[in-house]
Amino acid sequence: MNRQITATQLIAATTFVLLFCSAFTGDNAAAQEPDPYLQRSTEIFNFSTTATEGAQRGEELYYYKCWKCHNAYSLEAGTPAPLMKNIFDRPVLISGEPVSDDTVADKIRDGGPGMPAFRHTLSDEDINDLLSYFRSDDCCFEGEEPPSNPRYLGTEPRAPLVGRGNFGGGPAGKVRNSDNVPLEGILVQLIAEETAIRTTVYSDATGQYEFPALPAGRYTLRIARPLEYDPYQRNSIRVEANSRRQQTFDDIVLDRISETELLPPTEEIISQLTGAEWIMNLPSTGEEKTVFKGSCGFGCHSYQQIFRNRYDERSWRLLVRRMIRYRGSP
């Protein structure tokens, strides 16, 4: 598999690079159709972890694209960006245009003297979801009152950790391909149905994996980062606790998604690339990559997030200036 060529083809068009930053057998069933809801990386980069459309998705877009400037903290610090709460109750925008869906949408697309233009990074659907959020009663949260996490299912202050200090003794199994070749370094994951807590382990050189002791209950078994392999998932697997013999799952059999060396540039594959894979495939010199890593990565931004953003040069300069003066961007 040639990840370098594939990623280079995906990244080369980015304007940002040109700017250099600035089971016991009864539960062992066949694999089911994977649930896209569980592939968090794809959802995160499509702003759909809580909803696929409407005001709820608009709230997520607002956090990533608007809140960092349009908040009470930056307003007190002198940023001219207005708060967006009750924006449609005001007669005019700061620029003087009357407030309407069209003028607010145009402002998002075109930006202003101190605001970047989002026409290259937000689609019409994205902007419509933002407008829905601005008009909703939930707009707009502040840092001291963030929205709740709809995925958190825990009802107790803390979840019990049965295997504390013991990294083995739980369900085990093997990962291999259809030619019976063991697969090493595969992330095997169990998700508790009751709490949504995820536990992930790696397969070793022989394809074997072993979980720590887990609370009894129903779990979803999946491959957390299939990348070059077809997604894999088995639902509602019963995990037993305090059993006299170790629970063993059926083999996980994975097939490559392509018979060729290169992988197709699908959204699902792109969202699974690691930061190391992104930076390794940048079409730049070592010196330029060092400047980029030291100025933008290394604890500030994920490379995936950076390369997914598209702005014109004027907007990038505004963003870099904003980041130099303030902290706390995602």
Q: What is the pLDDT of residue 129?
A: 97
Q: How many whole angstroms separate alpha carbon 165 and alpha carbon 212? A: 9
Position 165 pLDDT exceeds 50: yes
pLDDT greater than 90 at residue 174: yes
What pLDDT is attached to residue 210? 95
- Of 303, 312, 300, the closest CA to residue 115 belongs to 312
Whether residue 19 has pLDDT greater than 80: no
Domain CATH code at residue 90 = 1.10.760.10
Q: What is the DSSP string of 93-141?
A: -TTSPBPSHHHHHHHHHH-BTTB---TTTS-HHHHHHHHHHHHSTT---
Segments in the chain forming alpha helices (H): 3-11, 15-18, 40-45, 55-65, 72-76, 101-110, 124-135, 267-270, 275-280, 286-295, 303-308, 313-325
| Measured distance CA(56)–CA(176) in Å, rounded | 40
| Residue 31 near residue 302, CB atoms below 8 Å | no
Tens digits of per-residue pLDDT, 277-297?
A: 888 878 888 898 888 888 887
pLDDT of residue 178: 92
pLDDT tier for residue 6 given thresholds of 50, 70 and 90:
very low
Q: Compute φ and ψ for 188, nearest 5 degrees.
A: -100, 135
Q: Are 298 and 2 in contact (CB under 8 A)?
A: no
pLDDT value at 157 more than 80? no
Sign of the dihedral through C-alpha 226, 228, 231, 237: negative
What is the helix (H) or strand (E) element at residue 238, kind and residue range?
strand 233-239
Give 240's pLDDT tier (boundaries 50, 70, 90). Answer: confident
Q: What is the share, in percent, of the chain residues with pLDDT greater than 90?
A: 40
At 53-83, the pLDDT tens digits run 999 999 999 998 998 889 888 877 777 888 9
Residue type, 146: P
Across 137-229, the runs of DSSP E, i.e. the strands, are: 169-177, 187-192, 198-202, 208-212, 217-223
Q: Report how far residue 54's alpha carbon sits from residue 128's, in angstroms, rounded to the nearest whole number.
A: 8
Q: Is the pLDDT of residue 21 over 80?
A: no
**Domain membership flag for residue 223:** no
At residue 17, does pLDDT exceed 70?
Answer: no
In the predicted model, what is the mean pLDDT of the chain? Answer: 82
pLDDT > 80? residue 22: no
pTM metric for this prediction: 0.70
Q: How many domains is the chain partitioned into structurally?
A: 1
What pLDDT is stored for residue 48 in this prediction? 86
Surface-to-core class of residue 307, CB atoms within 10 Å of its CB (0-12 exposed, 13-18 middle, 19+ buried): buried
Q: pLDDT confidence of 163, banded at 50, 70, 90?
A: low
Q: Is 190 exposed, middle or buried (0-12, 13-18, 19+ CB in 10 A)?
A: buried
pLDDT of residue 106: 96
Instruction: Indicate the SS3 state at residue 321.
Output: helix
Residue 44 confidence (pLDDT): 82
Q: How far is CA 26 from the centre of its chain?
A: 34
**What confidence score (pLDDT) does residue 155 get?**
61
Would residue 262 count as lying in a domain? no
- Predicted confidence (pLDDT) at residue 2 exceeds the cutoff of 70: no
Residue type at position 112? G
- Is 104's pLDDT higher than 80? yes
Is the alpha carbon torsion for 159, 161, 167, 168 positive or negative?
negative
Closest listed residue to residue 289, CA positions, set 297, 10, 315 = 297
Can you give the residue range of the structural domain that contains 89?
Answer: 50-135
Whether 191 is covered by a domain: the verdict is: no
87 found inside a domain: yes
For residue 192, tell me if it sits in a domain.
no
Let me know if residue 74 belongs to a domain: yes
Is residue 111 domain-resident? yes
195 contacts 160 by C-beta, under 8 angstroms: no
The answer to the question of residue 62 being in a domain is yes
- Give the sheet arrangement for strand 217-223, strand by strand: 198-202, 187-192, 217-223, 233-239
